[in-house]
Amino acid sequence: MTPTRSSCDEDTGVTLELRGHVLVVAMNRPHKRNAVNAEVSAALDAAFNRLEDDPEVWVGILTGSPDVFSAGNDLVSGSGTPTARGGQYGLITRDRCKPLIAAVEGLALCAASICCWPATSSLQQRLHSSAFPKSREA
């Protein structure tokens, strides 16, 4: 089966690539360190709906860019409202039947670390770092 790719929609910041029976879902907002806003949450929800609903898709992989998996919530606009099927980020409370792998490279900060929890498996590169930064108190 020939891989097909849908280009990244600059409004959503998510790229989908079908490689055989594997759906690769990549957060692609490098200028915002892949911070999740409402558009990214909706696009992730649609991608995970496809993963669950399409019988030709057997497994999903969630990834970010090489330097950063995600900085978590977009601090300017927020991550949007939880979706009907997936909750926050279209993923956190989702009932899944198919495996989802979190392929994490670089930083996974704050809520982005939480994206790894519902994954079936988490593949983490050597340079991976998860953190929950705490603001300084005055």
Mean pLDDT of the chain: 79
Q: Match domain 4-129 to its CATH number in 1.25.40.10, 3.40.640.10, 3.50.50.60, 3.90.226.10.
A: 3.90.226.10
Per DSSP, the residues of the chain read ---EEEEEETTTTEEEEEETTEEEEEE--GGGTT-B-HHHHHHHHHHHHHHHH-TT--EEEEE--SSEEE--B-TTT---SPBTTTBGGGTTT---SS-EEEEE-SEEETHHHHHHTTSSEEEE-TT-EEE---PPP-
Q: Which residue has the higher pLDDT, 33 or 51?
A: 51
* Annotated domain spans of the chain: 4-129
Nearest Cα neighbor of 105 from 38, 52, 30 is: 30
Q: Assess whether pLDDT exceeds 60 at residue 60.
A: yes
- 134 pLDDT band (50/70/90 cuts)? very low
Q: Token pair of 82, please?
A: 């939880």
Question: What number is the average pLDDT over the span 47-76?
Answer: 91
